[in-house]
Chain A
Amino acid sequence: MITERDTEHIGQLADIAIHREELAAFTSRFNEILEYFDLLDQVEVVESIEGRECNVFREDEVIPSLSQQDALANTREKEEGFFRAPRVM
């Protein structure tokens, strides 16, 4: 059972703020969904069958890429060819 405090904590981990007035609804929805996920408790984890996924490697070659101008085209916060981000410290 998830509490409103847990929901706030998950929001912090996910870097998503939650308005106080949304907290109760988010929490009750989470609990309904997680209760449904409890179905998975019945699944036995056995040695997995062979998947088709495999790592795909390629040569580390320099190929044409985005120009600095294109890379910065979608931000309003830029300075001397760099992205300007909020302060970390």
Chain B
Amino acid sequence: MPGFTVSFHPEDRFFAFLRTVGEISCREGRLSGIPVAVKDNISTAGIETTCASRILEGYIPPYDATVVERLKNEGAAIAGKTNMDEFGMGTTTENSAFGPTRNPVDPSRVPGGSSGGSAAAIAAGLVPLALGTDTGGSIRCPAAFCGIVGLKPTYGRVSRYGLIAYANSLEQIGPMAANVTDANLLMGVIAGHDPRDSTSLDFPYLHTPDPEIRGMRIGVPEEFFGEGVDPRVASVVWEGISLLERKGAEIVTCRMPSMAYALAAYYVTCTSEASSNLARFDGVRYGPPADTKKTWHESFQERRRDGFGEEVRRRIMLGTFTLSSGYYGKYYAKAQAARNQVRADFERLFREVDVLAGPTMPTVAFKFGEKSDPLSMYLSDILTVPANLAGVPAISVPCGRVEGLPVGLQIMGRWMEDERVVDVGYAFEQGVSR
């Protein structure tokens, strides 16, 4: 197939990229020559991939993730690797070992995280499309903070093969773009069955967004406007929901009692999975080498102390503790029971309504250093983690501003109804732009 070359030399003023590819060879396809930014926890053959961690500095993957393979097959130009919170652990991109990304809307504020580099690259106009990953909100949070669109697909809809795992049962790769149409296009390219990911499902995504939402029932859980949600953000989001009502949707207020435990269930689950997943980083097969003169444990412990940032070490240790004998029943087992309650709540609500709507984040983008203690940072994920716990699709679309800073409207849908959340997002976007 005839190929061609695309040049990519952006002026990256917000440190969205950890590295870029100057000259990119592409082929013809649906994304011919379109530069696509890829989060740095997604494997790209021949392009350094670090998860924004010192422990993977210099690691060059020998193979492409399935999503990257699919992008290349459609002619996309893999433009570079975007900054992120180390291993996806954070809500601001401040946890990158290589320094934070700044929010193009207001450079004194964080872009959100963990896919902050991908969101900033789009918001700054450096690329039209980017891949993020979402374990507990890591696509939707930066999309909301930077005023762009981000979709967390249904769990299993997009292959995780080649994604450097942090919390396998929660995370999905998803599209980020300036508008719903572009996010939909990217979703169509990356979704589909992959035998190399045993959780991959065979539901191709072939969809053209439809803005007709007359008669659709939109549930609004009271808990999404509860304690901790900035009233100014709540007000902007309610205005957005009213717009959907004016377009013919029926708004139904409802309750989601499992929200009380969702965040704790999420953090116990993700740290437990992280403690196992990140055991592979030992300095033997990749990354800066371990000292082979020392004993195994001594060398391993030192390598990991120096290679991982503070938050990553905290989460690995938390997960080690919550899975340890004597505490498993108190933490992990309870978290799984709470996770089932979240799933049950979604299933009950989705018998009555077609989608759920609310704010993506409780506040607008934080100032740098504003969330200095880890627990207050964790608490800001409260509105995004339920969709990950249940594996259902959720999109964030820009829905207005508070003091000049973007606010995201989140639409969550039934399992495998990614198309419907895209449609509602599209209907909203069309309504706003008229």
Q: Do these two chains interact?
A: yes
Chain A positions near chain B (C-beta within 8 angstroms) = 2, 7, 10-19, 22, 26, 29-30, 32-34, 36-37, 39-46, 48-49, 51-53, 56, 58, 66, 70-71, 73-77, 83-88
Contact A75 B334 (CB under 8 A): no
- Chain A residues within 8 Å of B415, by CB: 52
Contact A40 B320 (CB under 8 A): no
A77-B318 in contact given A37-B268, A85-B284 (Cβ < 8 Å)? no
Contact A45 B305 (CB under 8 A): no
Contact A15 B324 (CB under 8 A): no
> Taking chain B's interface residues, is the majority helix, strand, or loop, or is none over half, making it mixed?
helix
- Picked from B261, B308, B318, the residue with its CB within 8 Å of the CB of A30 is B318
User: Which one of B172-180, B340-348, B401-409 contacts A?
Assistant: B340-348
A39-B292 in contact given A16-B305, A85-B284 (Cβ < 8 Å)? no
Tell me the minimal C-beta distance from A77 to chain B in angstroms: 5
Interface positions of B from 258 to 313, Cβ below 8 Å from A? 260-261, 264-265, 267-268, 275, 279, 282, 284-287, 289-302, 304-305, 308, 310, 313
For the complex, what is the distance from the CA of A37 to the CA of B322, rounded to whole Å? 10
* Total contacting residues, chain B, CB less than 8 A: 67
Contact A39 B60 (CB under 8 A): no
5 A-B pairs besides A19-B305, A49-B344, A66-B62 with CB distance below 8 A are A32-B373, A48-B336, A51-B343, A56-B199, A73-B62
- Chain B residues within 8 Å of A71, by CB: 62, 285
Contact B305 A17 (CB under 8 A): yes
For the complex, what is the distance from the CA of A2 to the CA of B318, rounded to whole Å? 11
With contacts defined as CB atoms under 8 Å apart, how many contacts are there between chain A and chain B in the complex?
154
Tell me the minimal C-beta distance from B295 to chain A in angstroms: 6
For the complex, what is the distance from the CA of A53 to the CA of B200, rounded to whole Å? 11
For the complex, what is the distance from the CA of A44 to the CA of B62, rounded to whole Å? 46
Q: Is B77 at the interface (CB under 8 A from chain A)?
A: no
Contact B294 A86 (CB under 8 A): yes
Contact A15 B297 (CB under 8 A): yes
Q: Which residue of B has the minimal Cβ distance to A56?
A: B198
Q: Which residue of A has the minimal Cβ distance to B60?
A: A74
